[in-house]
Structure 1
């Protein structure tokens, strides 16, 4: 355990047989102090006390500590009261397997599909393993013949083949 300066001074005076204690003697070197002096001329001024760690907190540091305590308090309340957070957060909704888009029967309107990626592989069948027949560039107009899952059978540039549907954008003209 760390000894204090006063404890060391008392121990030293007891060892030396000097029983003079109290005012008038330096607590570090045990020499007599000059009259009307507060500090020993040999030892100099004592070290100032350590700075208070709580003193001088910035606004951000204080705010961060307060927020930490608030979050800790909220977590304890949720735990102790057994609050089910699922009732406050909406769960995942049901995603439809297939979306039916309205078909236009008006002869004045026409649905046009345009390739929306820089380069799109067009394949023989609706599979990533199917052979690539051709490549279409962005902005190419194609006609969708039918869809199967995530794939669309198209006709474009004189070729009938399959392409992933998300690579096409539909426009009504």
Structure 2
């Protein structure tokens, strides 16, 4: 049984165009998040140790969270550069590295959310929990589709590379 794949990106675009769109959006969003999280980290760092931070350590905690956001955004920035480079150079290995790394990040994010829910419990009304669940399903669904599209593009490149191999021998 072969792994799942798609033959075209949404709106009847080709897989290469879709992969370029995914890479461009990931590059722009991760770059914007690096900048925003860096500015927020600097603002929180300036308030660490002050009288406002003394009692509940809000700014110290906020600093740690924003630094983690910068680190996560930098990881996605590097992945976006790998994806764009691999698309333009038609490098199958780079595409597979992006796909497998995104799958690992996807699973880690799901595990983090599940562990947070189990350990901290639910806060909010039933409708807020339901809306958060729908948002998570939509976000993780879009990410899964993007990973599937790039994976399908790597399969397309791999099959075209195998077909153009001049040393191919047919066995009867």
TM-score under structure 1 normalisation?
0.21
Q: Is the helix fraction higher in 1 or 2?
A: 2
Larger-Rg structure? 1
Q: Is the strand fraction higher in 1 or 2?
A: 1
Q: Which has the higher contact order (CA 8 A, sep 6+)?
A: 2
